[in-house]
Chain A
Amino acid sequence: MSGEPEVHEEFEARLKAYEGRPAAATGVGRDPVNEPMIRHWCEAMGDTSPAYTGPDAVAPPTMLQAWTMAGLTRRPERTAAYDELLTLLDESGHDAVVATDCEQEYLRPLRPGDEITFDSVIESVSGRKTTKLGAGYFITTRTDVRAGGEPAGTHRFRILKYAPAHRPSKPAERRPRPVVNRDNSGFWEGVARHALLIQRCTACTTLRFPWLPGCTSCGSPDWDTVEARGEGTVHSYVVMHHPPFPAFEPPYAVGLIELAEGVRIVSNVVGVPYDKVRIGMPVRLEFRRYDDELVLPVFQGVTP
């Protein structure tokens, strides 16, 4: 929606036109007033009043609206006018809803077996209001509830249809992709089959990590690999609080893990709160899938 006042006024006038029109016409309660629904309600509310059990049981009066609810089914009693009003609001971005007020008057107790019917009218539609949740419009309806055709209660209900002010950005960002090249492709092939491969110089048997074209000890270009057993300890770590990067939710711990084989790798420490990571903490290798194409080796903290 535009922020220009005249645009709001025109839109508000369209909404106001629905005042006084029916919202529900001759609704019929899905079930007559019945003991199981009363019992479920009392269980949920922790209501142990003896008035709601036994041969002379009445329904808790505050269940009034519950008897008119459609549940997961469509509401045949809902009028085209009310559907139009809600659609207008949905399509203008006010697609979230929250109930704000409920005023009920009880004219007679409801008892198991009572057949419920109801009619509802759109009493008022407010002007545009700015709320903590977002800008929107309050809609007030009044419902007259009957039991066996006799007035049993009235139910005034106010909802806020709003455009959420704090909608999270979507879709979720994906982690950065690793740079895979001739020198390290063997490492990523290993990760793909859940093996953490360490390079070993075939001339002097020195292990090296991360992957490099030549031995850091003797300079030989010849190497093979050793698969890490998966055990290690936190050699050092930092906790990232700021700045936040897309796909990473701070705070989180980044560990420098010393593998049992003696080489070190930078990775996430997972499975323990960021503030419980300690130098010397034993960790175990696992592979985590972050999206449909990215699997990474991470280290699970092992609590003693």
Chain B
Amino acid sequence: MKPGDRLPPLEIPITRTLIVAGAIASRDYQDVHHDPDLARQKGSPDIFMNILTTNGLVGRYITDHFGPRAELRRVAIRLGAPNHPGDTMVLTGTVEEVDGDTATVRVVGANGLGEHVTGTVTVRVPV
């Protein structure tokens, strides 16, 4: 684990099921995450993934890579292009800083429209 290390990419198909399942698992009943008609009335072409699901996927990407003993300390994300059904998001990560057993990883999730999520994750990986 050293600065500059790249994590293998993780490809996530953005299905309608993933968007709705993620919204419900995070107890987010905002209509734009499950009702296409109401999403369109709010100017979106279709339903889109909620931020809690994106956050969960970013966390999973990091712990999948560093293993079950890795402890997430901080996850900070910003959303850009929405994740609509039928798209694919590819998560990539680069280790930016290492301090003892703690690393800061820059994460980007890109979809067909652009960057869906950018952020940093601080993770402790006990030796």
Contact = CB atoms under 8 A, between A and B. Distances in A.
A65 B53 CA distance: 11
B42 to A, nearest CB: 4
A50 to B, nearest CB: 5
B41 A65 contact: no
Interface in A28-64: 30, 37, 40-41, 43-47, 49-51, 60-63
Interface stretch (B70-78, B94-102, B104-112): B70-78
B62 to A, nearest CB: 10
Smallest CB-CB A-B distances: 6 pairs: A164-B43, A69-B27, A62-B59, A99-B51, A103-B76, A44-B21
Given A62-B75, A101-B77, A101-B78, A44 B22 contact: yes
Interface in B38-84: 40-44, 50-53, 55-60, 63-64, 68-69, 71-79
Given A40-B25, A44-B25, A46-B60, A65 B78 contact: no
Nearest to A167: B43
Interface size class of A (residues with CB under 8 A): 35 or more
Given A46-B60, A63-B56, A69-B28, A102 B22 contact: no
A37 B24 CA distance: 10
Interface in B5-35: 12, 18, 21-22, 24-30, 32
Which one of B27, B41, B52 has the highest number of Cβ atoms from chain A below 10 Å of its Cβ? B27
A166 B44 CA distance: 8
A102 B42 contact: no
Contacts of A45: 22, 25, 53, 56-57, 60
17 contacts: A41-B26, A44-B53, A47-B64, A49-B60, A49-B63, A51-B63, A61-B72, A63-B56, A69-B27, A96-B43, A99-B50, A102-B52, A103-B75, A103-B77, A164-B42, A167-B42, A170-B41
A71 B27 contact: yes
Which one of B40, B69, B74 has the highest number of Cβ atoms from chain A below 10 Å of its Cβ? B74
